[in-house]
Structure 1
Amino acid sequence: MNIFNKVTLQGMKKSRTRTIVTIIGVVLSAAMITAVATFGVSLLNYMANGAAQKYGDWHVEFLDVPSSFVQERTHDEGVANTAAFENIGYATLDGGKNPNKPYLFIAGYSEEAFDTLPITLVSGRLPKNSGEILVSGSVAANGGVKFAVGDTLSLAIGSRMDGNKNLGQHDPYISGDKPGTAKETLVPKAERTYTVVGINERPGFEESSAPGYTLITKADAQDKADSFSLFVTLTNPRGIHAYIGNTAGTEAYVFNDNVLRFMGLSDDNMFNVLLYAVGGIVVAIIMIGSIFLIYNAFTISLNERTRQFGILSSVGATAKQLRNSVLFEGLCIGAVGIPIGIIVGIGSIGLVISVVARNFGEILYTSVPLTLTVSIPAIVVAAAVSMVTILISAYIPARRAANTPVMESIRQTNEVKVESKAVKTSKLAQRIYGLEGTLALKNFKRNKKRYRSIVLSLVLSVVLFISASAFVTDMKQASERAVAFTTYDIGFATQDMDDSEMLSLYDKLKTADGVYESSYQALMKYSCAAKASDLSDYYWEYAGSHSPDETVNLPMDIQFLEDSTYLNMIKGLGLPAEEYTGQNAKLIAVAKLTSHMKTNREHEVDEFIDMFKSSSMNFTIAPETNGKPKMEQGQNVSITFVETVPPDTLPILGNSGSKNPVFFRVMVPYSLKEKFETPDTHVDIKGLTFRSKNPTQSAAEMKTMIQGAGITAKYDLYNAYEMLDENRNMIFIANVFAYTFIIMISLIAVANVFNTISTNIKLRRRELAMLRSVGMSERDFQKMMNFECAFYGMRALLFGLPIAVISSWLIYKGMFIGGADNIDFVFPWSSMAISVFSVLFIVFITMLYAISKIKKENIIDALRDDMT
């Protein structure tokens, strides 16, 4: 070890406190970078495992390959597993509505294919022989042709041909020049008869451009096919592109991007950019905070060793040797801090993952656990980034110190360079602060560069803490609003199911364990013809100018409720049941202008305002077709407007909801639905709603019942409670990671402030000793240091609080553009108060520690100390 390195080690031992604090900063920095990298790897591994469960655990599919190719691939080096199904052929889909998908594609699964390629059953069961078949639900949803369990299919199966070329699922349908014609032809080869035993969701391997809906049967061992689809799983997925280059040849292939994208191996450039950009931003924030801390440590170290460097330079030390001396100090600190940081980072993120793992399972993949995944490459990268952070932090001050002239270093004349006018204070400031405060203010002014990093560190901590708190507050507010307006736990929604079938299913589903309340309903779009003079002034402030004699067609919803539910509502409103039941009964409705509607009076209506002047009126209502009322089919009704909250409707399939501030809904008993139905109208949505003591268990039992009932109509089963629970889980996860991140960043800031203030006080020991030697009392001395603390804290808060408020507002605008969902901007008073207290507390505690050390020193010794 050379003499420079020995001197460096002696200096580190002499300043143990500063060295330990710097090592703690490196530990925190390395721990955060390691934690971010490890969590990123764990999350991607979780997403890849979940996608493999949902879409299949394979990496590449070869389409339309011969059996010889399948045999060759099973013996390839690096292949973990293969599965194949027979491409039995195509059949025309009679009555299909999608011109780009006119075929049924028959796939004959082997046992390996059933194990490797996941099948999600909607109803029925899997085929047990080559005479049974599964029909994809997309045939009805996308193709417009319905099949039911038990149906018999007689299909003329053949091959798609474009001249002499055989076409497969990877080749889109080739239509002709005129509508309804095709350039390709279907050449029939055999007649096959199948029995439909189940309905399944569209297989994950079926491309959106595929010309045929995939129907799955079991491969016939007696029938030797000449075309297969082969699915290959590699031992090391990162070699997928090299494997394709060596084996594919002229064969068509498709990557399983749903799985590969989470390994960074797909061609989804947008996802890759997002993935690396988010990780890069987080690591950059950590590095900035860490560089502040470590840079300050080395700057202060060099300030202590300035005269030492000057003396070494005077006896022949080169600038390179001096720089290497400082870099050696950085390497020593890194050698101790980085390994500890890596261990702390892995342990802390492992603890966090164990806390949030269950919540992740309830949001995404219930049967795939989120586990800690330690990646050696990720750890190496984290260690390298940490070391680069240290070396950058050390090199900048080392270069400046090495280039300082020898005499300046020995005399230390470059310590403070300032003109008198730069530290001049006003008479008003002197009168307000007194002598002690004036001295503190002058010292703050003459050492601006040295103390700027303290202020920046505190500002960074304040902005991050308040911004994260604002984000969590907004998410909680959104969750609370969602919970407040939910009137059912489980919903079953459909559009085209017959009432008899739906009500038969209703009788079964309401017997599920845990269900204590149930109902059914339907929703239909209607239009109401109203006189302009009947509408309230507030409505016309929203709608604009009008003529008093004008007739306005207002869109309205008719919600048909189960008769018992409707009757209970009538009784709850105190209305006479005999007037509101029967064929010619009066109807009840809610007609309001909803909150936060901007009016022409330039203020906001924060309550629900009546649309109509009277509480009971006669109207002509008519069904809507394509958004236009058909008044020739109108009927006269008497409507009473009531003050109540109608039961929630079921979500309309494919509809994201309306932002119209006009709410006009009529409630009618379900038994009168036929009265309002016409040949040109249809129900927008209908279905069943349930309240349950255990919604998750009830929904699972209902799903089994629906599959057993052989339902073929398109439907959706909503677990509203679970959806809200997902929201709560997301907020919990956001809380955990936001506050973990903020705590660690804050610890870096605290270490930075502690290191900088305590060492600066140490550097000023002669100056402070001189003040004490000329008669400054302990009380006045403490008062001066308290003023310095106040100046640090107030300067940091002066910049930090406004930036944090702006950041919080931008987060709110980004999450809820225009105040959507009635989410209000909450000014972060509480988190600002915590920040103010924390900043002042940290600064004062650090100053007390440093001053206690100074007070214990002998004044004469401090004055004699030449800081060598």
Structure 2
Amino acid sequence: MNIVNKLTIRHLRKNKRRTLVTIIGVIISVAMLTAVATIGVSFMDLMKRQTIADEGEWHVLYKDVDIDQVHTIKKDENTQKVVLSKDLGYALLKGSKNENKPYLFIKEYNRYGFEQFPIELSSGRLPKTENEIVISDEIINNAKVDYRIGDIITLDVGKRTANDPEIRGPMDQTFSLMTNEKGEINEELKDTSTKEFTIVGTIKRPTWEPPWSPGYTVISYLDEGLLGKDNLVNATVVVNKIKTSLFDHAEKLAEKNQIENVEFNYNLLRYYGVIKSEGMRTTLYSLSAIIMVIIIIGSVSLIYNAFAISVSERSRHLGMLSSVGATKKQKQNSVFFEGFIIGLISIPIGIIAGLAGMGITFLFINSIIQGAMGVSEKLEVTVTPGSILVAVLVSIITIFISTFIPAIRASRISAIDAIRQSTDVKLTRKAVKTSKFVRRVFGIEAEIGLKNLKRNKRRYQATVFSLVISIMLFLSVAYFTANLKKSLSLSQDGQSFDIMMELGHEGDDQLANTILSMDEVTKSNLMSQVHGLTSRVEKDATADVLRTFEDFNSQLIDGKYPYYINLYVLDDKSLEVYAKEVGADYNELQTGLKAIVIDTIKYEDGDAGKYVETKAIHTKVGENIDLYSNDMETDEQTYLNKVTVAALTNQLPMGAYPGGPGGLDIVVSQSTLKQLGIDGEFSVMLYLNSNDPLKTQEKIEEMEEVKHYIRNVYQSRQQEEQMVMIMSVFTYGFIVLITAISIANILNTISTSISLRKREFAMLKSVGMTPKGFNKMINYESIFYGIKALIYGLPLSVICMLLIYKALANSFSYSFSLPWLSIVYVIVAVFLIVGTSMLYSSSKVKKENIIDALKQESI
């Protein structure tokens, strides 16, 4: 080790406090990088495991393949496992207590199916031959027949076919039971064949069985050896290497072997980072790059400030090295060597601290995730070589960048300037000139504070830079997380209820009141929907997206564009609740032809490959909308009346689905419906949210008078809510982390800066500055720091937000809006944190003896 490096180590040891502050700064930065990488990898791992637990582990599905095609799929180089399955069909369940589930649904799997899909055995064993079955526990609970293990049952298995000619072909589990207007079953089983099965076990209700399906799941064994040339099965594949090329590979394999239908498990593949949509892939990569750059900038600022202050303090030491013959390169290498030593100590500690911090955080988060969302899997600290390597490499690059500028500065310090410290302190009149306005308005203390900042320009710039970076970090991440949740909500189905029930029969009012009085029901909505209504909207008031359509002008009638209208009619109680939610006047909606207009639509644009949120119509409160009744047979339109816009909102009532471009959703009261003169029988739908949807459904079905269609979407909705909740935990955790780092950055920079100004403060006290004047000076300095930081920080943050918005625009389309609440938080927080930091740091300086502080040359 050369003499300069030895002196550097000795200097680090001698100045323990400064060295410790620098090391802590680097540890915080490395811990942040490690934590961010760990959060991302761990949440992706959780979602992978949860998706597998809910839906099974598979990647590609080839539908309706014969035995030769199965052999080809098995021989494919990217095939690891092949699950063969077949929907055998439906059979009537004798004595079903649930009128909406009158069937048994028999599905066959080969042995890999029992391994790859979530089939949880309750009792007995799994089937080993084609004549053996396991039945769902739900069948035992909901059938009047007492089924037991060992029973032999005979079933007439066939295909469900609707009596409605508009619905062609057989129906699967995704089709609920078909009924007519009287509530009678409007379908039948065709092409039936008699089969005999032995019950060998029971299973829990499969998570992949839709809640509205008309058949209880029964699973049998698919014997591959008995398959003939004409027997078609589904081949579900687990691939060897999960990468983006699997989409093209599978499609080429299907095309080469005349396989017509190939599907992919997008729900699982996206958590591997494998996305087919080019726009979504571009969005993912762009966002990752932007967030990584933001994190690196934050890390660089944190470490740079530590090294910049370190070099500023060491300037006299470097000057003495120069005076005894040290070259520019040796002084430069001295700073790099200091960075190397500090990195050697800090990086391992930072990685351990980041992982430990995430581990402790996950312990607390797991109880929230599993308790609030019903997630079966736990969030685990997932450490991959890639994530650790990225954290280490980014930390090394960050330390190098952070030390590079201070190293260049150190190499240029001359012996005389360094000893006199004339490079850090500017004493020219021009350099410290201040406006007379400052002194007149704020007093002499403010002028002295401003002059102090200007004479220590580099230290002042380092503090402002730290504040600017902190502002950018917080606002960019806050905007990113808010828009990530918004994007997620756009991509979801948007079901806002757990249970849907059709009413409209005699005595249903009393039934509805009984249901609403249940303890489990948390929210409800009683609503009718009127179809067959249209309107004509002025060209300039139409949705922007409509004007891009090629046939837009040809559709205009007297300068107006035809809109279809979804008219939702709420009962008085539901309307009062909804009006309060959207900020409308309930009493106004009950008088005259007044309506709430949903002026925002959300839809998926298949052609553009985007999820879009846009204005459905450009209108204002008080304007009128004409309504026409459209005769479906003659296509003639009859003018009804006009409704006045009482309120505009983007929030649909519970149970309503948004229309697409050219459609408008309008909510009215029952009295308004009568005034419009719309006659006819409208089905009334009762929508419920419950804290125990399955129990609520059971209680409803146990009522003897219930002969209605009931649909429980709780489980499918739960998956959406799990995604939103987990994303919320992830994003808010990210914000908390960034906020903590930003505060640490500011505290570290300001406290170190104040500590280095002991002699300066002692001099001011020695010439007569009172404690009150000293406090005023510190307060004004805090204000100057805050104002300067906001002047630079806010515009730069807006630029970052625009970049994030542009990245999301590849897959999601909605208007750009600034997070004003977050901006207000930042403005308040900047002055609060800066003021607190400066007062805390200066309080320590006040205790210093004036004579000792004036004599002190280093800390």
Q: Please, what TM-score do these two structures have when normalized by structure 1? A: 0.62
- State the partner residue of 1:45: 45
User: d(CA) in 1 for partners of 2:672 and 2:34?
Assistant: 61
User: d(CA) in 2 for partners of 1:715 and 1:218?
Assistant: 30
Specify which of 441, 463, 469 is matched with residue 450 of structure 2: 441
- State the partner residue of 2:317: 308
Kept after mapping to 1: 8 A contact 2:568/2:666: no
CA RMSD after TM alignment:
6.7
Is the counterpart of residue 291 in structure 1 residue 300 in structure 2? Answer: yes
- State the partner residue of 2:362: 353
Specify which of 191, 194, 200 is matched with residue 154 of structure 1: 191
Q: CA deviation at 1:41?
A: 0.6
5 Å-filtered alignment, 1:517-528, equals: 522-525=528-531
User: d(CA) in 2 for partners of 1:142 and 1:364?
Assistant: 39
Is the counterpart of residue 795 in structure 1 residue 803 in structure 2? Answer: no
- State the partner residue of 2:680: 676
User: Residues 715-745 of structure 1, C-alpha deviation per residue, up to 9 Å, x if partnerless?
Assistant: 6746999789987886666544423321222
Q: CA deviation at 1:398?
A: 0.8
Q: Greater CA radius of gyration, 1 or 2?
A: 1
**Do the aligned partners of residues 734 and 526 (structure 1) sit closer, same or farther apart at CA in structure 2, a change above 3 Å counting?**
same
5 Å-filtered alignment, 1:254-333, equals: 256-265=265-274, 269-333=278-342
User: d(CA) in 2 for partners of 1:794 and 1:88?
Assistant: 68
Higher alpha-carbon deviation: 456-465 or 794-803: 794-803
Residue 291 of structure 1 aligns to a residue in which SS? helix
Kept after mapping to 1: 8 A contact 2:501/2:685: yes
Kept after mapping to 2: 8 A contact 1:24/1:751: no
Kept after mapping to 2: 8 A contact 1:556/1:664: no
Q: CA deviation at 1:37?
A: 0.7
The residue type equivalent to 1:84 in the other structure is V
Is the counterpart of residue 839 in structure 1 residue 834 in structure 2? Answer: yes
The residue type equivalent to 1:792 in the other structure is Y
Higher alpha-carbon deviation: 649-658 or 136-145: 136-145
5 Å-filtered alignment, 1:701-720, equals: 701=698, 717=713
Residue 226 of structure 2 aligns to a residue in which SS? coil
Is the counterpart of residue 389 in structure 1 residue 398 in structure 2? Answer: yes
Kept after mapping to 1: 8 A contact 2:479/2:801: yes
Kept after mapping to 2: 8 A contact 1:5/1:325: yes
**Do the aligned partners of residues 527 and 449 (structure 1) sit closer, same or farther apart at CA in structure 2, a change above 3 Å counting?**
same
- State the partner residue of 2:26: 26
- State the partner residue of 1:538: none
- State the partner residue of 1:12: 12
Kept after mapping to 1: 8 A contact 2:595/2:667: yes
- State the partner residue of 2:500: 492
Higher alpha-carbon deviation: 309-318 or 588-597: 588-597
- State the partner residue of 2:143: none
User: d(CA) in 2 for partners of 1:137 and 1:755?
Assistant: 78
User: d(CA) in 2 for partners of 1:316 and 1:824?
Assistant: 56
- State the partner residue of 1:740: 737
5 Å-filtered alignment, 1:549-564, equals: none
User: d(CA) in 2 for partners of 1:220 and 1:487?
Assistant: 40
Higher alpha-carbon deviation: 800-809 or 689-698: 800-809
Residue 420 of structure 1 aligns to a residue in which SS? coil
Is the counterpart of residue 655 in structure 1 residue 678 in structure 2? Answer: no
The residue type equivalent to 2:754 in the other structure is I
The residue type equivalent to 1:840 in the other structure is G
Q: CA deviation at 1:263?
A: 1.9
The residue type equivalent to 1:591 in the other structure is L
Specify which of 448, 453, 457 is matched with residue 466 of structure 2: 457
**Do the aligned partners of residues 114 and 724 (structure 1) sit closer, same or farther apart at CA in structure 2, a change above 3 Å counting?**
closer
User: d(CA) in 1 for partners of 2:522 and 2:208?
Assistant: 36
The residue type equivalent to 1:676 in the other structure is G
Kept after mapping to 2: 8 A contact 1:360/1:729: yes
Is the counterpart of residue 219 in structure 1 residue 222 in structure 2? Answer: yes
Q: CA deviation at 1:27?
A: 1.8
Q: CA deviation at 1:413?
A: 4.7
User: d(CA) in 2 for partners of 1:296 and 1:130?
Assistant: 79
Kept after mapping to 2: 8 A contact 1:27/1:341: yes
Is the counterpart of residue 112 in structure 1 residue 86 in structure 2? Answer: no
Kept after mapping to 1: 8 A contact 2:59/2:269: yes
Kept after mapping to 2: 8 A contact 1:29/1:290: yes
Kept after mapping to 2: 8 A contact 1:793/1:843: no
**Do the aligned partners of residues 53 and 84 (structure 1) sit closer, same or farther apart at CA in structure 2, a change above 3 Å counting?**
same
Aligned length: 710
User: d(CA) in 2 for partners of 1:668 and 1:193?
Assistant: 56
Q: CA deviation at 1:455?
A: 1.3
Q: CA deviation at 1:592?
A: 0.7
Q: CA deviation at 1:366?
A: 3.5
- State the partner residue of 2:614: none
Is the counterpart of residue 752 in structure 1 residue 756 in structure 2? Answer: no
Specify which of 333, 339, 344 is matched with residue 348 of structure 2: 339
Is the counterpart of residue 625 in structure 1 residue 627 in structure 2? Answer: no
User: d(CA) in 1 for partners of 2:28 and 2:281?
Assistant: 28
Q: CA deviation at 1:385?
A: 1.4
- State the partner residue of 1:159: none
**Do the aligned partners of residues 666 and 446 (structure 1) sit closer, same or farther apart at CA in structure 2, a change above 3 Å counting?**
same
Kept after mapping to 2: 8 A contact 1:322/1:398: yes
User: d(CA) in 2 for partners of 1:276 and 1:334?
Assistant: 29
5 Å-filtered alignment, 1:807-826, equals: none
Q: CA deviation at 1:57?
A: 0.8
Q: CA deviation at 1:20?
A: 1.7
The residue type equivalent to 1:592 in the other structure is K
Q: CA deviation at 1:109?
A: 3.2
The residue type equivalent to 1:744 in the other structure is I
The residue type equivalent to 2:56 in the other structure is G
- State the partner residue of 1:85: 84
Q: CA deviation at 1:291?
A: 1.8
Identity of counterpart residues, as a percentage?
Answer: 27
The residue type equivalent to 1:525 in the other structure is H
Q: CA deviation at 1:393?
A: 0.6
- State the partner residue of 2:585: none
Residue 423 of structure 1 aligns to a residue in which SS? coil
User: d(CA) in 1 for partners of 2:404 and 2:88?
Assistant: 69
Kept after mapping to 1: 8 A contact 2:498/2:713: yes
The residue type equivalent to 1:401 in the other structure is A
The residue type equivalent to 2:632 in the other structure is T
User: d(CA) in 2 for partners of 1:202 and 1:58?
Assistant: 15
**Do the aligned partners of residues 452 and 280 (structure 1) sit closer, same or farther apart at CA in structure 2, a change above 3 Å counting?**
same
Kept after mapping to 1: 8 A contact 2:530/2:568: yes
Kept after mapping to 1: 8 A contact 2:24/2:346: yes
Kept after mapping to 1: 8 A contact 2:563/2:664: no
User: d(CA) in 2 for partners of 1:431 and 1:507?
Assistant: 72
User: d(CA) in 1 for partners of 2:821 and 2:56?
Assistant: 45
Kept after mapping to 1: 8 A contact 2:153/2:196: no
- State the partner residue of 2:609: none
User: d(CA) in 1 for partners of 2:425 and 2:445?
Assistant: 21
User: d(CA) in 2 for partners of 1:778 and 1:515?
Assistant: 63
User: d(CA) in 1 for partners of 2:568 and 2:440?
Assistant: 75
Q: CA deviation at 1:137?
A: 11
Kept after mapping to 1: 8 A contact 2:160/2:170: no
Q: CA deviation at 1:691?
A: 5.1
Residue 454 of structure 2 aligns to a residue in which SS? helix
User: Residues 721-770 of structure 1, C-alpha deviation per residue, up to 9 Å, x if partnerless?
Assistant: 978998788666654442332122222222122223323x15xx3x6666
- State the partner residue of 1:178: none
User: d(CA) in 2 for partners of 1:786 and 1:721?
Assistant: 53
Kept after mapping to 2: 8 A contact 1:299/1:397: yes
Residue 857 of structure 1 aligns to a residue in which SS? helix
